[in-house]
Copies of this chain bind each other. A is one copy, B any other.
Amino acid sequence: MAKTQTRNRGDTEKKIVQAAINLLAEEGFAALGVNKIAAAAGVDKQLIYRYFGGTEGLIEHIAQDLTLWFGSQPVPQKYPDYAEMTGALLEQYTQTLRRDKMLRHLLLWELSDNSDALKTLEKSRSLMFGQWFMQMKGDLEPPADVDAPAINALLLAAMHYLAIRADTLGCFAGIPLETPADWQRVQNAAQSLIQSVYKKERS
């Protein structure tokens, strides 16, 4: 059989990182302490300090793993105009948001904590999102009389908030956020906003 070592730094490092990611995905950032991570990894917490320099170092280390995690977005297509492209992007992104509990935990974490580790993590994630957007955008341009970046930010922000909120309250402003039908309604509302603001008049 293969040479199985009882002591292997690389393996335990992976175990620690994986335990932290799982913990974040399942219980949220509040559970991300040295003790819990060590317990979840089946490892002494001393090793977290030795190999990563504590929780902060560990977070910085898993940042790249996380950004890669979210980098696996669907393939870009060609869209007829800016409105269609924005609509498709928002729809896709919202579905990802609804499926990936870890992403929601991460976004909530960004809202709650302002440590340096989180800032770098947000920065790289934001960068990767920007690249994805540019890829989908292609050479499409929004109408000159609307502030497309601000409008995109508004709609993304709304989806972020509603997705996080669905985990705890399950509704917002009288709009339920539980069933797929509930979310279809939200999606439709967002699409109507996009359509009307970008195609309000085709002179």
Contact = CB atoms under 8 A, between A and B. Distances in A.
Contacts of A151: 189, 192-193
B193 A193 contact: yes
Interface stretch (A8-16, A40-48, A155-163): A155-163
Nearest to A28: B112
A173 B156 contact: yes
| Chain A interface, DSSP helix/strand/loop, else mixed | helix
Interface string A176-202: 000000000110111011001100100
Interface string A116-152: 0011001000100110000000000000001101111
Contact of A172 (B112, B153, B175, B192): B153
Most chain B CB within 10 A, of A159, A161, A186, A190, is at: A161
A114 interface: yes
A165 B111 contact: yes
A186 B149 CA distance: 10
19 contacts: A30-B112, A108-B111, A110-B169, A111-B111, A114-B168, A118-B168, A122-B169, A129-B173, A147-B185, A147-B189, A149-B175, A153-B172, A153-B186, A154-B158, A154-B193, A157-B157, A157-B162, A158-B161, A196-B197
